[in-house]
Amino acid sequence: KQEVTQIPAALSVPEGENLVLNCSFTDSAIYNLQWFRQDPGKGLTSLLLIQSSQREQTSGRLNASLDKSSGRSTLYIAASQPGDSATYLCAVKDNYGQNFVFGPGTRLSVLP
């Protein structure tokens, strides 16, 4: 059974810092991995989708990497801003169906 973990559970940084969020999964037979952002009391917003054949994806100040063999993905946020404060979740889709397994999330606070 696929299990997804995220470290750290919470992170607080000053504005302007570059930071890395980590996502680990136990079964490397994944189809893709998706990073989401969730603001308090809101739904999930898709940030980046990485297919299993890809190594990384970039969108603006965000860069997500994928290493299937080691069961890891990282989300890199450059020049963090207070507006980046949210919970970031990763989710993996396996090869066997449409089952997406979510990590518990990392709660990020960017201090002005």
Partner 1 sequence: DAGVIQSPRHEVTEMGQEVTLRCKPISGHDYLFWYRQTMMRGLELLIYFNNNVPIDDSGMPEDRFSAKMPNASFSTLKIQPSEPRDSAVYFCASSFRYEQFFGPGTRLTVL
Q: Which is nearer to partner 1, 77 or 89 (CB)?
A: 89
DSSP state of 28: -
| Buried/exposed 40-56: b ≥16 CB within 10 Å, e otherwise | eeeebeebbbbebeeee
Q: Which is nearer to partner 1, 38 or 74 (CB)?
A: 38
Residue in this structure with the two tokens 């969730």, named with its chain if needed: 38
List residues bridging with 66 in a β-sheet: 73
Cβ 14 to partner 1 shortest distance, Å: 28
Cβ 74 to partner 1 shortest distance, Å: 19
Q: Which is nearer to partner 1, 46 or 58 (CB)?
A: 46
Could you list the residues that contact partner 1 (CB under 8 A)?
A: 31-32, 34, 36, 41-46, 49, 89, 91, 93, 97-105
Cβ 16 to partner 1 shortest distance, Å: 30
Q: Are 56 and 63 in contact (CB under 8 A)?
A: yes
